[in-house]
Amino acid sequence: MAALKNWKSSLFDCFEDVNTCCYGFWCCPCLACTVSGRFGENYCLPLCDILTPSVCAACGVPLFVPPAALSMRASIRNKRGIAGSLCKDILASCCCVWCSWCQMHRELKEHTPVVVVMQQPANPIMMLNPNAAPPPGEIHPYVYLWSH
């Protein structure tokens, strides 16, 4: 079994990647959806975290742990072979969910392959337009068929 490795950056290394830090600070739900999509999950999965207070108000069921943040963090850690525990994942997801999403984004940013799609230039092809008028003195084949 391969040895477990550490996260590429720590939980509070937000200024290591200022773009991710700003993205998480100004629009954490959008960052969470990006992380979810990059990991191959549904982009709308983090909406569970946004709806958590509504569940508490409507049903009286207290959900203090953001379910999407916790499950994504644990899944990324397991899939990437990162050391940690479920207890640490719960602590990070509850106490600093923004930093947790930023850390996951930085981790996936390192591993997300860049796909480059190159399109070959179109080769000019001579095409016959069946609706074009025939050259003078020539009978258009479609006109000939319909007139007989």
Q: For residue range 72-124, what is the model confidence (pLDDT) as tens digits?
A: 999 999 999 999 999 999 889 888 888 999 999 999 986 655 445 555 555 55
The residues, any chain, with a CB within 8 Å of residue 20's CB and separated by 6 or more, are 14, 31, 102, 105, 106, 109
Record the pTM: 0.66
The predicted pLDDT at position 132 comes to 56
